Structure 1
Amino acid sequence: MARIEINRSGEMEIFVRVVEQGGFSAAARRSHMTPSAVSKLVARLETRLGARLVNRSTRAFQLTAEGSAFYERATRILADIEDAERGAGAGERPVGRIRVNTSASYATHILAPILPEFLARYPRITLDLVQTDMVVDLLAARTDVAIRAGPLKSSSLVARKLGETALTIVAAPAYLARFGEPKTIDDLETHNRLGFGYTRIVDGWPLRQGDEAILVPATGRMQASDGEALRHLALSGCGLARLAAFTIRDDIAAGRLVPVLEDLNPGDREAFHAIHVGQGGLLPSRVRALLDFLAEKGRIE
């Protein structure tokens, strides 16, 4: 009996395209195929693997746990094939699109100033930046690299540390002139404490009280989804905010913001990491190029 030829890399490529396009119809258009042909190909792949990869619905497209795992492995395998072919040609040159998820603060104060050099160094790489302070699922968000602040949860993700920053409570001079400068923890009860609109691992402001540190809730009349928005609210005189030192260094030097309660600052520091899926040896060259560049130019001091 003749053996049926199976184009495994072709099946992987179509499946990855289905995931990244969010459905069969969009993937079919990108692949110049009919939706039924794409659906049949995925069904054939599921039969061969003996596992359902996609939950089909008229209103939603959702990967199964097996589908997510297969997508992760397939993208790495296809990236390796791409790198191997490029390396066998006229020299390996990183090429392709990188989706980066980063906090607005890091994007504004660290990433934006260094990106022209990165783009000049790697002219065949394109970047897709998504700004949010919230933790995202890299696989579900189709993200290559995420830059995250704070403690890391144990996971299968790989992290490269980009440095750490001190944190300081600040306010605009106009706000302090109107409401007075807090001198004690109790004084904070009468002040508008600007906080994040979502739960964080450290959800509050650590302050020293005697020989111990307590966590003061950042409760006030305004919240924001990212640190850069909180910085602008503080600059506008809306209240007190506890912000990363690298984002407010120039504001303090220029007198636009004033540190308060520094004698109660416990001196804790917030670490920043570049997170990615897969071990270093399995990374596409374009992703490795960005990670190496961030380790060189994108560190927080």
Structure 2
Amino acid sequence: MARLEVNRSGEMEMFVRVVEQGGFSAAARAARMTPSAVSKLIARLEGRLGARLLNRSTRQLQLTPEGCAFYERATRILADLEDAERSAGVGEQAVGRVRINTSASYFNHVLAPVLPEFLALHPGVTLDIVQTDAVVDLLAERTDVAIRAGPLKSSSLIARKLGETALTIVAAPSYLERYGAPCRIADLDGHNRLGFGYARAVDGWPLRENGETTIVPVTGRVQASDGEGLRQLALSGVGLARLAAFTVRGDIAAGRLVPVLGDLDTGETEAFHAVYVGQGGPLPSRVRALLDFLAERGRVI
């Protein structure tokens, strides 16, 4: 009976608030409580769980490994509770904010064109979109769904595949007029090969010549932090770039970019996934609605 008297959801909510506000004082102000009351509540939670969740110092709080695990599960449970309450009032209608982390390339060429349709289908959903090619910590960035390209590392994240795309080396006609079109791997020595400013799964361009695959290093004079930046550099005639086919298909059709070294292509493709935190359990309806929509209308080819 005593177990039923414990307000476990309230303790979870306060713990999550302390973590996200960065301390007891800020969480206390947000909850209109005293810092000592918040501190006692967290201490009672730790005592009941038999585990230290936070390491306290005079300057900051730091999550313990047990605290990290509890925070991850608590945020999911609270989201499910919120979703259950909304569902009780508005049926299965998706309601609330969804924070999306995506590359500029995927946003510009795939997501943005279909967003009006999603927003019309789900008028109760608001979107917060962050564009970056960097791999972010979904929990730290409070991200619901991230779109990631390339091989996925083993993690607690759940992935939903959105298709895959070929990778194509392209250049602007103006660049090829000045420097000529490369036909062999050896020809690349005289070309500006534009690359990414961060580590990739394959550090170079794989090309197959005379039955052997060579990883050609990317040693150009300009690097960019995202694929859309490289595309703009290629369009400006700065150099050669190896980009996802779906991002340059329109440019090639319009003659703004020209594919090169297609005969040496290894056939490598890059997979795209929508990833989210979870262990396969129920998702908030707002997140589920976005994932279902992306699986149908946000596919990469």
| TM-score range for the pair, normalised by the shorter chain length | over 0.9
| Offset from partner CA, 1:232-287 (integer Å, 9 cap, x none) | 11111111100000001111111111111111111111100001111343211111
Match of 2:255 in 1: 255
DSSP-derived class of the 2:89 partner: coil
Structure 1 partner of 2:120: 120
Distance 1:57 1:193 in 2: 49
Q: CA deviation at 1:4?
A: 9.0
Q: State how far apart, in whole Å, the 1-side matches of 2:9 and 2:223 are.
A: 47
Give the 5 Å matches for 1:23-34: 23-34=23-34
Cα offset for 1:191? Answer: 1.1
Contact 1:197 1:224 in 2 (8 A): yes
Q: Distance in 1 between matches of 2:197 and 2:141?
A: 21
Q: Is the deviation greater in 157-166 or in 135-144?
A: 135-144
Q: What's the TM-score, normalizing by structure 1?
A: 0.93
Aligned partners of 2:221 and 2:237: how far apart in 1?
13
Do the aligned partners of 2:171 and 2:241 also contact (CA within 8 Å) in 1?
Answer: yes
Q: TM-score, normalised by structure 2?
A: 0.93
* Residue 183 (structure 1) shift: 1.4
CA positional deviation for 1:189? 1.4
- Taking the aligned partners of 2:199 and 2:85, their CA distance within structure 1 comes to 45
Deviations 1:144-195 (A, max 9, x none): 1111001112222111100110110011111111222111111111111111
Aligned counterparts, 1:209-220, within 5 A = 209-220=209-220
Q: Which residue of 2 aligns with 1:238?
A: 238
Alpha carbon RMSD of aligned pairs, Å? 2.0
Partner of 1:186: 186
What are the Cα deviations for residues 111-143 of structure 1, in whole angstroms up to 9, with x where unaligned? 111112212222222222121112222222222
TM-aligned CA distance change 1:129 to 1:62, over 3 Å: farther
- Counterpart secondary structure, 2:281: helix
Taking a change above 3 Å as real, the CA distance of residues 292 and 4 of structure 1, as seen in their structure-2 partners, is: closer
Deviates more, 1:153-162 or 1:15-24: 15-24
Moved more, 7-16 or 161-170: 7-16
Superposed displacement of residue 3, structure 1: 7.5
- Once the two structures are TM-superposed, the CA of residue 217 in structure 1 deviates from its matched residue by 1.4
State the match for 1:15 in structure 2: 15
Mark the CA change 1:24 to 1:209 in structure 2 (over 3 Å): closer, same or farther. farther
Match of 1:277 in 2: 277
Which residue type is aligned with residue 105 of structure 1? S
Identity %: 78
In 2, Cα distance between the equivalents of 1:182 and 1:61? 56
- Once the two structures are overlaid, the 10-residue window that deviates more, 90-99 or 170-179, is 90-99
> Where in structure 1 are there 5+ consecutive unaligned residues?
none
Corresponding residue SS for 2:168 = strand
Measure, in 2, the Cα distance between the counterparts of 1:72 and 1:209. 48
Structure 2, gaps ≥5 residues long = none
SS at match of 1:187: helix
Partner of 1:223: 223
* Aligned-partner Cα distance in 2 for 1:60–1:264: 55
Q: Which residue of 1 aligns with 2:265?
A: 265
- Find the aligned partners of 1:186 and 1:29 in 2 and give their Cα distance: 65
What secondary structure does 1:68 align onto?
helix
Q: How many residues align?
A: 301
Q: Contact conserved, 1:83 with 1:92, CA < 8 A, in 2?
A: no
Give the Cα–Cα distance (whole angstroms) in 1 for the partners of residues 277 and 2 of structure 2: 39
> Is the contact made by 2:22 and 2:60 (CA closer than 8 Å) also made in structure 1?
no
Contact 1:101/1:146, CA 8 A, preserved across alignment:
yes
Give the counterpart letter for 2:158 in structure 1. V
**Could you say which residue in structure 2 is the equivalent of 1:51?**
51
Is contact 2:156–2:279 with CA below 8 Å preserved after alignment?
no
Q: Classify the secondary structure of the residue corresponding to 2:181.
A: coil
- Partner of 1:274, secondary structure, is strand
1:52 shift after superposition: 2.2
**CA shift in 2, pair 1:60/1:2, >3 Å:** closer
Structure 2 counterpart of 1:203: 203
Q: 1:128–1:25: structure 2 CA closer, same or farther, 3 Å change rule?
A: farther
| Structure 1 Cα separation of the partners of residues 141 and 258 of structure 2 | 38
